[in-house]
Structure 1
């Protein structure tokens, strides 16, 4: 008979299995932590750039002073809320003195919605003021990647325009980069540069459709510039809105918005809106832009002048940090000084209403 095997005691569970479980949980926890941290790191810039507010920090957990810090300056909105009736009435009084002049005026403080108006949506000859919405349309195409900043534009007989500017004096076939045409269109109001942009942006009909989509209902291009007959139209409301769409961030990326401001800042003519504002502050100068800086005021504007009509529209940076858009148009007899005087007078009332009396220390800059 074979020897029987001795009975072995039944095995009892030891520490091996629990330790393995704990180690697995630790490894899984570390892995999830790494994955979560990496994901948050990658998503943080996108979340920050989305413009959406983050979760509120409880006051008890916030570092000292954090709850009182501003989240950033607001961009404002093109949204009229409360009318400055005294200012609107003053504009109406100024215009009523000249029965043979047609006037349009509009002002909106982007930060709080205060506004004034005088026939704000009346279409009047735009003259060169229509170049502001054309610049907006061009920068929209740049933003969309459908044109480049240095794309060459060719001068042809069709687009060579008389009047303001120097590009028409160049030989046909000359090529100008888009940035130069856009800048000269505003800086010296070059009409050929403007026509180059109109053609590159699809022509008159295409631009008119774009203006309608932007809510610029009275802005229409019927003829190439200089359009001395005044067939191209816009309104004070449209000019103010075109500038506000950019400054409030509703249209254009931040970089394209910077380009818009830089180009608008090159405009040489400052004898209407800027000078009128300065006159409202008790000043008068051959260089109103410089003197306005002494009052804490900056104006980025574009004028229009075809003799039978004058216009000016711009962004006004106020001493209290707020921003406003204002625009004025007047149609009247050819080269009638009352038209430009009326624009300056209405702009002066804007300064008196929004800024009041000038600071005692404010003085013309040398």
Structure 2
């Protein structure tokens, strides 16, 4: 047996020609065994362990030429070359394998930081812009009552942007004439606002001053009544009842009717204007929600001084208004801004039937027309209306005069103011080409 091992070690068979190279440890072990065999030839042969060499299958030679292998990327790349496979000509044309550069961790973190900062800046700007629309960061948030007051004030200011004074220009020649006229009555304190409906040009002599409204307060009440008619809250044929609380002395005939007497809503509203019935006025105030609700409506319309503080007849003059408020209200009525056109026509038709014609109508020509409402107290006399001249010109005149107790000179002053204004406007043709819809004929009950 030992002899066979020796022969195999010294003369390996041809089958082992393709064995892979042995390692350093295997070579040393083989050398030691060979030395033992040599020594055994001289003497005793020691026991030699049989060494089994690893048997591996020989690699088959590839039939692919080396140059083709390199071209098609079948051989591993040499040192120093890129690890990407070699592209064929077709791949290079189609650019199927674009070069991909992977950033280093430091570059990746830098880019991520820049992206985060950019997104944070955009979000912060968007949030600050949103907050600027809702609140003012430099001002403490007001209480609910203050907020409501500010809102109402801004709303009133916006609505007054379209008042006759803010839109038009002063009519200087007419204003000088009226100033000379009023200087003749030093004991009286007039407030005058006259405005051209088409051009909005105006004359303002104390027109923004506050006066006792007297019965001119009934015009805004009439407008509120027809607003509820338009809204379907009131029917013109709906019966209104005279109550004990509504009866008032002064002008009007309804105060003499028995309690419980019923009149149609339209009859009540018409009597409030045509004969200035105080009882009818109190009935409407009750049906329209009371003084507080009406005052809120007046403010919503942009009237700054018009308020109801007491039931009619208000002999103390606590209900207030101004020539400017009355003129602005008539302008809104004429335009149909507060009520429907049908209700506007009814309002103007009722105002044309006002029975007292001793103030503004006395200064008008024969063919002129006027839709107006007067007001009389011992301390105040006034008249306000829309005047229609024969040449088609339309203008608004509102005159309130503070006077010593029942001074008749106030009536004369209002008549002369009306006459002077009429002479000015009747010479001027209408400047606006806008068609005006004349009120349809309407007879109050």
TM-score normalized by the length of structure 1: 0.69
The separation in 2 between residues aligned to 1:144 and 1:117, in whole angstroms, is 35
Aligned match of 2:216? 129
| 1:243 and 2:314 are equivalent in the alignment | no
The separation in 2 between residues aligned to 1:185 and 1:160, in whole angstroms, is 13
| 1:142 and 2:213 are equivalent in the alignment | no
Any idea what the Cα deviations from partners look like across 1:164-192, whole Å, max 9, x if unmatched?
Answer: 11101011122221100100011111110
Provide the secondary structure at the position in 1 that maps to 2:364. helix
Provide the secondary structure at the position in 2 that maps to 1:106. strand
Greater relative contact order, per chain length (Cα 8 Å cut-off, separation 6+)? 1
TM-score normalized by the length of structure 2: 0.57
Any idea what the Cα deviations from partners look like across 1:232-263, whole Å, max 9, x if unmatched?
Answer: 11111111111111111212111111111121
Any idea what the Cα deviations from partners look like across 1:282-316, whole Å, max 9, x if unmatched?
Answer: xxxxxxxxxx22xxx21111111112111100011
The separation in 1 between residues aligned to 2:391 and 2:299, in whole angstroms, is 34
1:28-107 alignment, distance < 5 Å: 79=164, 80-107=167-194
Tell whether the 8 Å contact from 1:236 to 1:328 is kept in structure 2 after alignment: yes
The separation in 1 between residues aligned to 2:309 and 2:163, in whole angstroms, is 27
Tell whether the 8 Å contact from 2:389 to 2:426 is kept in structure 1 after alignment: yes
Give how far 1:356 is off.
4.2
- 2:272 counterpart (181, 185, 194): 185
Any idea what the Cα deviations from partners look like across 1:106-142, whole Å, max 9, x if unmatched?
Answer: 1111111221111111110111111111111111111
1:328-347 alignment, distance < 5 Å: 328-347=399-418
The separation in 1 between residues aligned to 2:189 and 2:305, in whole angstroms, is 15
Whichever of the two has the greater Rg, that structure is 2
Aligned match of 1:318? 389
- 2:419 counterpart (344, 348, 355): 348
Aligned match of 1:195? 282
Tell whether the 8 Å contact from 2:393 to 2:425 is kept in structure 1 after alignment: no
Tell whether the 8 Å contact from 2:216 to 2:384 is kept in structure 1 after alignment: yes
| 1:160 and 2:247 are equivalent in the alignment | yes
Provide the secondary structure at the position in 2 that maps to 1:136. helix
Unmatched 5+ residue regions in structure 2?
1-161, 429-445
Aligned match of 2:79? none
- 2:378 counterpart (301, 307, 316): 307
Tell whether the 8 Å contact from 1:127 to 1:227 is kept in structure 2 after alignment: yes
Provide the secondary structure at the position in 2 that maps to 1:83. coil
The separation in 1 between residues aligned to 2:210 and 2:288, in whole angstroms, is 23
The separation in 2 between residues aligned to 1:310 and 1:273, in whole angstroms, is 12
Paired residues in the alignment total: 265
The separation in 2 between residues aligned to 1:142 and 1:203, in whole angstroms, is 17
Tell whether the 8 Å contact from 1:78 to 1:108 is kept in structure 2 after alignment: no
